[in-house]
Amino acid sequence: MRPCPRATGSEALTAVTAAAGVSPLFLTPLLQRQLADWLAEDLGRGDLTAPALAGRRGSAQWLAKAEGCFCGGVLVEPLFRLLDPGVVVQLHVADGSRVRAGQPLLELAGDAAALVAGERTALNLAMRLSGVATATAQLVAELEGTGVRLADTRKTTPGLRMLEKYAVRCGGGVNHRLGLDDAAMLKENHQAWAGGLDQALALVRAHAPWPARVIVEAETAAEAEAAVRAGADAVLLDEFAPEALVALVPQLRALAGGRGVVLEASGVRPDQLRAYAATGIDLISTSAPVTRSAWLDLSMRFHSPFPLV
């Protein structure tokens, strides 16, 4: 595979993801602070092996040890530059690419102590994110040709939400709400405490920014129909059997008239994705790629210094 163009900082993050057709991951101030904090967690007062490497230069290569979907390469250069501003990184595989066992992923060269100190943090992040991307890609493959999209949820690891959602995109999925502040989802408790669906929806629309969408969660056909009548932008159909949605989805479409209402199924079993897709829904949301995925095994092999171009 042709090496990706070299770039630095946010430029590097956008270049390699664009090469794979993945929406970019931006090096935001929050992400910069997180990278520094994650390094500090492992370094503590300093790597006790550093004196053995003082003043030496080193180089290394990342290899995939299993087949999967690679994710996290965009973090390698910004992370190691916190330890060695002169580190040189060459990516051979863009985030979102399928990789095989034994395939070289990237090469890096720089201060030997910095390469050793950053190895575990960098690999941990990439293995976690590659696992999420791989699990997402497997589910997306089940939906191929159906036109139904696979979305994530807010069930993410605290501190890793933006990266795990980025990994879902690398696996071919789409992001649902990033947080409570970019879309409203009215559930049973909101409706009960507000005095009903109409009251809850009116209160949210009165205070939310005008571009914000309102999603209503429904657990019965009656609740779904009420959500459409109330003017919800989307209805989350929670834990409905596929057989129930075959009849319900056309009814909701007819009830909405010409108004576009997004119909989403959640609480689905991964082995029933195609059955849900056949019901006419727009979206399937699942936490499985984040909550049930295994890390993709990667390794960093050190070797003699070499020039990178």
Both 161 and 256 in a single domain? Answer: yes
- Per the annotation, the verdict on 65 as an active-site residue is no
The residue that leads in pLDDT, 11 or 298, is 298
Phi, psi of 94 (to 5 degrees): -80, 150
pLDDT for 11 equals 44
State which amino acid sits at residue 77. Answer: E
pLDDT digits over 61-118, tens only?
Answer: 999 999 999 999 999 999 999 999 999 999 999 999 999 999 999 999 999 999 999 9
Residue 309 lies in a domain: no
Residue 234 lies in a domain: yes
Number of separate domains in the chain: 2
pLDDT for 214 equals 96
* Cα–Cα distance measured from residue 278 to residue 62, given in angstroms and rounded to the nearest whole number: 41
Both 299 and 271 in a single domain? Answer: no
Residue 180 lies in a domain: yes
Question: What pTM does this model have?
Answer: 0.90
For residue 294, pLDDT over 80 is answered with: yes
Residue 271 lies in a domain: yes
Residue 103 lies in a domain: yes
Residue 61 DSSP code: E
Both 117 and 86 in a single domain? Answer: yes
pLDDT for 258 equals 83
- Per the annotation, the verdict on 187 as an active-site residue is yes
pLDDT for 25 equals 87
Share of the chain above pLDDT 90, in %: 86
Both 32 and 97 in a single domain? Answer: yes
Residue 137 lies in a domain: yes
For residue 6, pLDDT over 50 is answered with: no
How confident is residue 21, by pLDDT bands cut at 50, 70 and 90?
A: low
Residue 2 lies in a domain: no
pLDDT digits over 217-274, tens only?
Answer: 999 999 999 999 999 999 999 999 999 999 999 999 999 998 899 999 999 998 999 9
- Per the annotation, the verdict on 223 as an active-site residue is no
pLDDT digits over 136-166, tens only?
Answer: 999 999 999 999 999 999 999 999 999 999 9
Spell out a b/e string for 58-79, using b for 16 or more CB atoms within 10 Å of the CB, else e: bbbbbbbebebbbbbbbbbbbb
User: Can you give the three-state secondary structure of 241-261, one letter per residue?
Assistant: CHHHHHHHHHHHHHHHCCCCC
Phi, psi of 297 (to 5 degrees): -75, 120
- Choosing from 187, 213, 253, 274, which is the catalytic residue? 187
First vs last C-alpha separation in the chain: 16
- Choosing from 107, 164, 217, 264, which is the catalytic residue? 217
- Choosing from 95, 107, 152, 238, which is the catalytic residue? 238
Contacts of 54 (CB under 8 A, 6+ apart): 113
- Kind and range of the H or E run holding 275: helix 273-277
Give residue 272's domain range: 145-291
pLDDT for 141 equals 97
Both 126 and 150 in a single domain? Answer: no
- Choosing from 120, 205, 292, 301, which is the catalytic residue? 120
Both 157 and 247 in a single domain? Answer: yes
- Per the annotation, the verdict on 238 as an active-site residue is yes
pLDDT for 178 equals 93
- Kind and range of the H or E run holding 56: none
For residue 192, pLDDT over 60 is answered with: yes
Residue 3 lies in a domain: no
Write the CATH number for 254: 3.20.20.70
- Choosing from 33, 56, 144, 155, which is the catalytic residue? 155
